[in-house]
Structure 1
Amino acid sequence: MARRPRIKPGIIGRIVNDELSYGPNKGSKNARKVNVQSVHLEYEIWYDRHYIVRLQFGDRVGKRAGIEEKTILKLASDSLSYLTYYSLQVRNFSFVSPEKQTAHTLRIVLQRDTENGTLNVVIGFCHLSARNCEATIYTAMVIDDFRLSDGQYAVLINEGHSILYKMDNKLLREIYTSSIDFESSR
């Protein structure tokens, strides 16, 4: 005679979540959630005259291909989630210039691989008020060997994968890699 399968104890009744109980979170072993809040930030995206001139007339080499307004605007819009994520994850990484800046705007290079090469967009963010920032697109070009200044950051964004780079003493260093797909979660 075969043995019958062992009866596994199941959950009897219903599960009750005690909202006043304490439990672990990322910062403490003994904490209680009291509120969830979403903060709305508004980004204004502007085009610098230099970008518009390069788009319409090109430069001494000729008209620049692959820097259409629609493509550039999409990359700039897609980058906001990645840049915010990196500013939360990477110590000392900031992409927004303070409201009362003394030097010129911090400029980040946004990159995306295309069939013609790497699209590079130079963009700067300025803090305007508590919930308002502006982003200015200074220039764009499709070139594989775009030169970064020392201390400048670049973010390569490709289909759910991004890499944060920093030019440090003439060496391009990979700072952080993310496989979070912010684009498909919209």
Structure 2
Amino acid sequence: MSSPTLTEQLAEVLLQQGWMLATAESCTSGLIASRCTEVPGSSSWFERGFVTYSNEAKHEMLGVDSGLITEHGAVSEAVAQAMALGALRHSRTQVSVAVTGVAGPTGGSADKPVGTVWLAWATPSDAGPTLGAETAWVKTQRMHFAGDRAAVREATVQRALQTLIDLLQQH
């Protein structure tokens, strides 16, 4: 028998806690949500995914302040954190993961070269109902992944899922 995939491991942990997940994705444009829903029965632990590729989508769908994007850039710790919080506020979940980055091959800069990705994971501070939640615990992480566009996106999905599993197992 083969070992469980990351999404199968995630499903097990979320089901044990009775929690639901929401994703907010930019550079992966829905790949994390897609991986989650490949697992049969995922509706028991996956509530929704937001694909917010443009800055306008981040603002309109997740409530990310446009000024935050202007000040820090879409690929930043502040925006990743705001995306994760926005996913909580606009869902009925107990945990969220958000990713924003430069998958390439274009779009990089000296400060944010191709492969730069910010990830954020959030859960409400009170672990109560999350619709409209204002306070939450958030962990952020900046990564730089090597490779082409597909490799950067795949590495982002893997990091997002593995860290989420690790965080939930500590909870």
Greater strand content: 1
Q: TM-score, normalised by structure 2?
A: 0.31
Greater helix content: 2
